[in-house]
Structure 1
Amino acid sequence: MVAELPSPLPVAGRRNVLITSALPYVNNVPHLGNIIGCVLSDDVFARYSRMRGHQTLYICGTDEYGTATETKALQKGLTPQQVCDKYHVIHRDIYKWFNIDFDNFGRTSTKHQEEITQEIFTRLHENGFTSTSSVDQLFCEGCDKFLADRFVTGICPFSAYDDARGDQCEGCGKLINAVELKHPKFHGCKRAPVVRQSRHIFLSLDKLQPEVAKHIEKVLARPDNRSSPNALAIAKGCIKGGLEKRCIARDLKWGIPVPLEEFKDKVFDVWFDAPVGYLSITKALLGDDWTKWWKNPENVELYNFLGKDSVAFHTVMFPCSQIGSRDNYTVINNCCATEYLNYENTKFSKSRGTGVFGDAARDTGIEPDVWRFYLLYMRPESQDTAFSWDDFSLKVNSELLANLGNFVYRALSFLANNYGGVVPEMHLSEADVEFLRGVESDAKEWDQLLENVKLKDAVRSFLSLSRRGNQYMQANEPWALIKGSEEDKKRAATVIAVAANVAYFLSLLIFPYMPQVSQRIREQCGLVDLPVFSTDPIAYLKTGHKIGEPKPLFEKVEKARIDELKVLFIPF
């Protein structure tokens, strides 16, 4: 069995892998693009890491402070805390249905979050990395309030991208200030925002640039890094363009108070405190032992999974806060960023009803592992990809039903029907040995791809293995051999024993991707516990072992059902 320790703490002599998912903002329901960009990708890597015997901690939670929550609360006639409480449960339940196996799924509106955020700020302030200044901000006269950067859009001053947010341009990836936008718009009000002054506190990113640039080159861009190319490009682009001091306070009520008398009526900007959520959620789980993960850079590998729109904050801004605190924090080692998953030929949009959202996916009746498979098959690792209902049905029916499911069921059902479910003795031929070399090659490729966070490509490895298994069965025809001579029957026994072992072996490779399907295969094989991974495909079902009851793993997705779903998910 996979060894488990009583608590997820770093252990000397083992690889200690700390995995975080970008915290989903609490005020909406996550769509499929959100799910594959963060929590699902992390989950696959965390399951793989545990399978390989690494000491692994996987942390996520809802990001709860900021203008969006205040605005939603006003719209709904609720308090910000009530909005957070409601949507935190929605997020938690959706991720649970998708079989996301967090060590802790927490939230940022906690005392731990306030304490750690204020401590980091205080250290930055004492170390001379903050300054104060009056700043121009966008103000909505209709709403009588200053506007949070992320809820203002306009034309980017650098790239002329026409839908840039006030904190970052999705077109070029650069950090910007909302007042720099051309033709800014606040979609919560019809009136155009105006510029007003407010005194604020700034983080001196310019002073910290040499140190964070050194970290990017030494750690993120090291030869064996697992960071995605888009993440490295964005991080290096930020440094090349030069860092400037950045305002880290906001004129809001819902947030973490700035612990300075001059700014007692202000709260921290959500992008200053949100990444601290990884630390506070770890503390909520482990108490004071949280520092064994987060103040232990010598012994901990940190993997951040996120969408490309969050890269600058995770590779530049938050590391500046950590480095400037002079508190030996574990700083990002590997930034695993995705591009965008679109819906058919357009973007996901809650307001326009475009796309499939987590709660709606649950209501389709399609099991979560099938959703997981397709999202990972289409994971936008190096370029944007699109969810398509026609392609969804094609991949499920051809790859899961006709390939993977077909191989497992035909191998196990033949064993059950002809040998009473008892694994017969194997007498391997040269052809069998060659076949098993191919299986082992697929497994080693799968292992190497997952080690390097190539989650999409690793899907092809286990599908290749199941195709290889189908070809082995077809080439050897045990259904014909079993009716022949004693030598033929002996050969049939070997073929089916090998095939059954490979079917079980396949359950291990699909476990990070489809944990429920993996468990069903292991139950049908009569060996439920997940073993320590080995690339030897016939190391598990020994001669004389009795399997369970074979059953089909998947159902066909009928065209009529796909047509119904297309209609159901037509945008407003």
Structure 2
Amino acid sequence: MLIFAAQQPPKALQYKCATQRKLNKVIQMTTKNYNRLLVTAALPYANGPVHIGHLAGCYLPADIYVRYQRAQKRDVKFICGSDEHGVPITIRAMKEGITPQQVVDKYHALIKESFAQMGIAFDIFSRTSNPIHHETASAFFKKLYDDGLFEEKETEQFFDETTQTFLADRYIIGTCPVCGNPGAYGDQCEKCGTSLSPEQLINPRSTLSNAIPVKKKTKHWYFPLQNYEPWLKEWIIEGHKEWKNNVYGQCKSWLDNGLQPRAMTRDSNWGVKVPLPDAEGKVLYVWFDAPIGYISATKELTNEWSDYWCKDDTKLVHFIGKDNIVFHCIIFPAMLKAHGNFVLPDNVPANEFLNIEGEKVSTSRNWAVWVHEYVKDFPDQQDVLRYVLCANAPETKDNDFTWKDFQDRNNNELVAIFGNFVNRTFVLMHKLCNGKVPPLHKDILDEIDNSLIADIQTAKQKVEDNIEHYRFRDALFEVIDLSRKGNQYLQKKEPWKKANLLAEDPANQHHIDNCLHLALQLTANLSILINPFLPYTAAKMLHMMKVVPKMLEWENAGTLNLLRTGYALRAPELLFKKIEDETIAAQIEKLKNQSKPMQETTNETTAIEYKPLKPEITYDDFAKLDFRIGTITAAEKVAKADKLLQLTVDLGFETRTIVSGIAQHFTAESIVGKQVTVVANLAPRKMRGIDSNGMILMAEDSKGKLHFINAEDTTENGSEVR
């Protein structure tokens, strides 16, 4: 019997546990084929605070994964730090009228504190301005240079004549040629995630002066990515088909389009200086410099850093957001391959983006929920946010955070299911069993008891399989579902009713004992299973059970001897508290009040810029289209399709079924009765098993919001639009 109170278990049990641990380790190393794990989370730019989109994107999933691995007693190092050499740093410095160093000092401290408050348990949170990083990045570059791997080129780069500054990619904004976002950067569009070059932007301009940049000659060192294309195709396309679809697909798209040399230096005075005699005024490109920060941070953490970076039996996992996929899956691995002696990532589980209240996060507009402010507004409720962000994680597609969903998940899931089960169990134990763990009478276990025992024993494997495959949302569901089964078990057994019948039949006490013994063992199991997700909650549960943290080791999950018969437990404490409507209304109002209108931002255009026109057509091409007016008479969500509504449209002469991708902009109920323009002679198309016979026309504004385009005056259904 495993006892996790302050006293030590019997020697025979210690031997048994030690033997099992050795067996587990043998099984682990045989099946996983690694001896240590190195887990990294993307280095956040130290140019501002972190928001909940950052947490949901990579830091929370990484922390869950690492906490689970630690519970497995595996050798794991969790590495992160602030990226302090990016162009956003210098932009922030100019905005605030301070030096770049003052910027990174300010925000590094704020970011580090925010992560700590949310329980993101890095082994080290370093910074790329540290001397050890400059030394490591310089040595890495020099090794590639000495091996003759760089291509030295004199090219024309964009230059701001007003400020007399060469413009790094992030100093240039313009319209994205892919999605039409007018605030795309010269290296990437943060709206659609497409990697760009300044030459691809439409109407490019300098972020420093808003001037149109010109070209000026400068010398830089290029890394020949094209030379690594065959190896990357074999390594990724053939070797890592198990990667998430969004990661694998983006890598395949890049490789299919062909790789080109990429400059690994920039004209700037802020960053890691290029370690060559003829490179005055030049620094390493931030995407060459930043990922090396994982290596330098590990060096700072431990003298055995090379074991984690250079031994083949290390499993390296990068947790990132989808905007960093190309850099972590193509550029950085190619750099490591070129250098030699380094392990390559085993997996790069990237999440999609998290929107807020239906709109994309915009730090420039202040449309964000900032972590340091959340902690102030919701003291001691870090686990509520951790829960909501994991339960609604953008693992396969962009998801939306709303304060109403935050409230509902807290009240209806954490309070009403998980917290309710734990509280009921402790209240009943104190009321019916004198505050002590009752014995288990195996001879009278019934089908309901055995079903709960089976659920406890199988939950461990379900959670484990999901976490090992980076399905954290599904893993968390299994934990909550187990607590739901606990509530159902109590309702079926009704020990409070049996207590009223003790005078008539004292044997009922044995049934009460069994019910609460199993409920308490389930509570102990829940503390183990929930710990990677909600560590503060697990700690509260340990306190209530009066057990040591050692119980949270993963090997103990699924067992039924975690709490000793006769052991006195503390009085129940509420794990979660209900969140009222007034609190949520205040947060929504705060978000709206703090955000700036689009035209007031500095890195988004002050005037609407329109998408480029499509290729010219003739009148005959247009004449082939038949536009008709129709009225939506019915609408409903398409099952398992977040974006689709199934519409019934009356065209006057007939009624059509049309499937339209507008569900994220309109509810089904709100559009019944609306008149729409329909492309009536479009060939039918099957969507989600439904024959869609036509297409409705909508207008999309600069924010991506859809609008109906019919005039206010109603028109007869079937009328032709010319």
TM-score, normalised with respect to structure 1: 0.93
Per chain length, whose mean CA-contact separation is higher, i.e. which structure has more relative contact order (CA < 8 Å, sep 6+)? 1
Residue 543 in structure 1 maps to residue 565 in structure 2 = yes
Q: Distance in 2 between matches of 1:306 and 1:455?
A: 15
Q: For 1:558 and 1:115, how far apart are their aligned partners in 2? A: 53
Which 10-residue stretch deviates more, 487-496 or 193-202? Answer: 193-202
- Alignment partner, residue 345 of structure 1: 358
> How far off is 1:162 after superposition?
5.1
Residue in structure 2 matching 1:522, options 519, 534, 542: 542
Indicate how the Cα distance of structure 1 residues 67 and 450 shifts in structure 2: closer, same or farther if over 3 A, else same.
same
1:183-262 matches, within 5 Å, as: 183-217=203-237, 219-221=239-241, 225=242, 227-262=243-278
| Matches of 1:175 and 1:262, distance apart in 2 | 30
Matched, 1:436 2:436: no
Distance in 2, matches of 1:547 and 1:219, equals 52
Indicate whether 1:306 and 2:320 are aligned: yes
Aligned match for 2:435, one of 393, 416, 421: 421
Q: How many residue pairs are counted as aligned between the two chains?
A: 559
Greater shift after overlay, 84-93 or 135-144? 135-144
Deviation at 1:430, TM superposition (A): 3.2
| 8 A contact 1:136–1:179 mirrored in 2 | no
- Partners of 2:387 and 2:550 in 1: CA distance: 20
Matched, 1:445 2:458: no
- Give deviations 1:60-98, integer Å, cap 9, x for gaps: 000001322223223333322222111110001111110
- Residue 305 (structure 2) aligns with: 290
The Cα shift of 1:412 comes to 1.2
Q: Which has the larger radius of gyration?
A: 2
Q: What CA distance in whole angstroms lies between the structure 1 residues aligned with 2:152 and 2:178?
A: 26
Q: 1:147 offset after TM fit, Å?
A: 1.6
Alignment of 1:138-537 (within 5 A): 138-157=158-177, 163-170=183-190, 173-217=193-237, 219-221=239-241, 225=242, 227-287=243-303, 289-296=304-311, 298-326=312-340, 328-366=341-379, 367-427=381-441, 428-484=445-501, 485-531=505-551, 532-533=553-554, 534-537=556-559
Residues 37 and 373 (structure 1 numbering): CA distance in 2 closer, same or farther, change over 3 Å? same
Q: CA deviation at 1:410?
A: 0.3
Corresponding letter in the other structure for 1:350 = T
> 86-95 or 429-438, which moves further after superposition?
429-438
* Closer/same/farther in 2, CA of residues 519 and 62 from structure 1, 3 Å limit: same
Work out whether residues 219 and 333 of structure 1, in 8 Å CA contact, stay in contact via their aligned partners in 2: no
- Kindly provide the amino acid, as one letter, of the partner of residue 397 in structure 1: N
- Any stretches of 5+ residues in structure 2 without a counterpart? 5-16, 22-27, 597-722
Which range is displaced more, 66-75 or 265-274?
A: 66-75
Q: Residue 214 and residue 128 in structure 1: after superposition, are their counterparts in 2 closer, same or farther (change >3 A)?
A: farther
Mapped contact 1:212–1:323 kept (Cα < 8 A): no
Question: Partner letter of residue 545 of structure 1?
Answer: Y
Aligned to 1:567: 589
Contact 1:251 1:266 in 2 (8 A): yes
Q: State the AA in 2 paired with 1:46.
A: V
Q: How far is 1:565 from its partner?
A: 1.4
Deviation string 1:511-530 (CA, Å, 9 cap, x unpaired) is 01110111101111121324
**CA displacement, residues 438-474 of structure 1 (integer Å, 9 cap, x when unaligned):** 2323332111101111011111111100100000000
Matched-pair contact (CA < 8 Å) for 1:16–1:55 = yes
State the AA in 2 paired with 1:558: E
Q: Within 2, Cα distance between the matches of 1:365 and 1:66?
A: 32
Helix, strand or coil at the partner of 1:65: coil
SS at match of 1:234: helix
The CA deviation at 1:314 is: 0.3
The Cα shift of 1:130 comes to 0.7
Indicate how the Cα distance of structure 1 residues 164 and 568 shifts in structure 2: closer, same or farther if over 3 A, else same: closer
Correspondence list, 1:72-91, <5 A = 72-91=92-111
Distance in 2, matches of 1:204 and 1:424, equals 69
Deviation by residue 1:465-504 (Cα, 9 ceiling, x = unmatched): 0100000000100111122222222101100110011011
Aligned-residue offset at 1:159: 6.6
Moved more, 351-360 or 70-79: 70-79
**Matched residue of 1:450: which SS?**
helix
From 556, 562, 566, give the equivalent of 2:578: 556
Aligned-partner Cα distance in 1 for 2:560–2:205: 63
Instruction: Please give the alpha-carbon distance, in whole angstroms, between the structure 2 residues aligned to 1:200 and 1:341.
Output: 37
Residues 162 and 209, structure 2, Cα contact 8 Å, conserved in 1: yes
Residue 285 of structure 1 deviates from its aligned partner by: 0.9
Q: Aligned partners of 2:332 and 2:476: how far apart in 1?
A: 33
- Residue 424 of structure 1 aligns with an amino acid whose one-letter code is P
SS at match of 1:438: helix
* Secondary structure of the structure 2 residue equivalent to 1:132: strand
The alpha-carbon distance between structure 1 residues 75 and 157, as it changes in their structure 2 partners (threshold 3 A), is closer
SS at match of 2:459: helix
TM-superposed deviation, 1:172 = 6.3
Q: For residues 201 and 95 of structure 1, what CA distance do their matches in structure 2 show?
A: 36
Q: For residues 351 and 165 of structure 1, do their structure 2 counterparts lie closer, same or farther at Cα, with a shift above 3 Å needed?
A: closer
- Structure 1 window deviating more from structure 2 (192-201 vs 173-182): it is 173-182
Contact 1:155–1:161 (Cα < 8 Å) also in 2? yes
Partners of 1:16 and 1:53 in 2: how far apart?
Answer: 10
Measured after TM superposition, the shift of residue 420 of structure 1 is 2.1
Q: 2:549 and 2:288 mapped to 1: Cα distance?
A: 43
Q: Is the 8 A contact 2:448 2:489 kept in 1?
A: no
**CA contact 2:404–2:584 (8 Å) conserved in 1:** yes
Instruction: Kindly state the Cα deviation for residue 246 of structure 1 after the two structures are TM-superposed.
Output: 0.4
Q: CA RMSD in A?
A: 2.1
CA contact (8 A) 1:343 1:355 kept: yes
- Contact 2:410–2:578 at 8 Å: present in 1 too? yes
* Contact 1:61-1:108 at 8 Å conserved across structures: yes
CA contact (8 A) 1:404 1:463 kept: yes
Q: In percent, how many aligned pairs have the same letter?
A: 32
Q: CA deviation at 1:404?
A: 0.3
Aligned residues of 1:117 and 1:273 also touching (Cα < 8 A): yes
Gaps of 5+ in 1: 5-10
Separation (CA, whole Å) in 2 of partners of 1:71 and 1:161: 20
Aligned to 2:43: 23
Q: Contact 2:45/2:89 (CA < 8 Å) preserved in 1?
A: no
Equivalent pair of 1:304/1:334 in contact (CA under 8 Å): yes
Distance 1:264 1:322 in 2: 26
TM-score by length of 2: 0.75
Q: Give the SS at the match of 1:564.
A: helix
Supply the distance in 2 between the matched residues of 1:290 and 1:12 (Cα, whole angstroms): 21
Please give the secondary structure, in 1, of the residue aligned with 2:249: helix
Q: Following the alignment from structure 1 to structure 2, what is the Cα–Cα distance between the partners of residues 565 and 196?
A: 49
Q: CA deviation at 1:218?
A: 5.0
In structure 2, distance between residues paired with 1:395 and 1:234: 33
